[in-house]
Amino acid sequence: MLFDIGKAELQAALAAVGKAVAARPQLPILAAVKIEAEDEGITLRCFDGEINIAASAEVNVTEDGAVCADYKMLSGIIASMDPGRICVRADKVISIEGGGSKFSIEAMDADDYPDSPEMEKPTGLYAFPSEIFIPALRRVIPFAAVGEGKRPALRGVMMASDGERLTLAASDGYRVAEAVIECSAKLKTPIIIPAAACKTLTEISKGTEMISILAGTRNVTFCCDSVTMTARLIDGQFIDYKRAFDLNYTVTAAADKQLVLDCIDRAMVLINAESKAEKPPVRIDVRNNRMTLSCVTMRGDNRDVIQAETSGEMTIAFNARYLADVLNACEGDMVTLELSAPNTGCRVRDGGARFLLLPVRMY
Report how far apart the first and last C-alpha atoms of the chain are (Å, whole number). Answer: 69
CA separation for the pair 181, 194 (Å, rounded)? 20
Contacts of 76 (CB under 8 A, 6+ apart): none
Does the domain formed by 2-112 have CATH 3.30.160.250? no
| Annotation: CATH topology of 247-357 | DNA Polymerase III; Chain A, domain 2 (3.10.150)
Q: Where are the beta strands (DSSP E) in 188-326?
A: 191-194, 210-215, 219-224, 227-232, 251-256, 282-287, 290-297, 300-307, 309-311, 314-318
pLDDT in tens, 233-271: 999 899 999 988 988 999 999 999 999 999 999 999 999
Nearest to 18 by CA among 227, 231, 233, 232: 227
Across the range 195-204, mean pLDDT stands at: 95
From the list 131, 178, 170, 183, the residue with the least C-alpha distance to 352 is 178
pTM above 0.85, yes or no: yes
Average pLDDT over residues 336-345: 92
Task: Tell me what pLDDT residue 209 has.
Answer: 93
Per-residue model confidence (pLDDT) at position 126: 78
Domain ranges in the chain are 2-112, 124-232, 247-357
The pLDDT assigned to 27 comes to 85
Residue 221: is it exposed, middle or buried by C-beta count within 10 angstroms (0-12/13-18/19+)? buried
- Say if CB 291 and CB 284 are below 8 A apart: yes
pLDDT tier, 50 (very low <50, low <70, confident <90, very high otherwise): confident
* Contact status, residue 165 vs residue 182, Cβ threshold 8 Å: yes
Q: To which H or E segment does residue 33 belong?
A: strand 32-38
Looking at residue 123, what is its pLDDT?
57
CATH topology of domain 124-232: DNA Polymerase III; Chain A, domain 2 (3.10.150)
pLDDT digits (tens, 9 = 90+) for 165-180: 999 999 999 999 999 9
Q: In this predicted model, which residue has the larger pLDDT, 275 or 37? A: 37
Residue 111 has pLDDT above 90, yes or no: yes
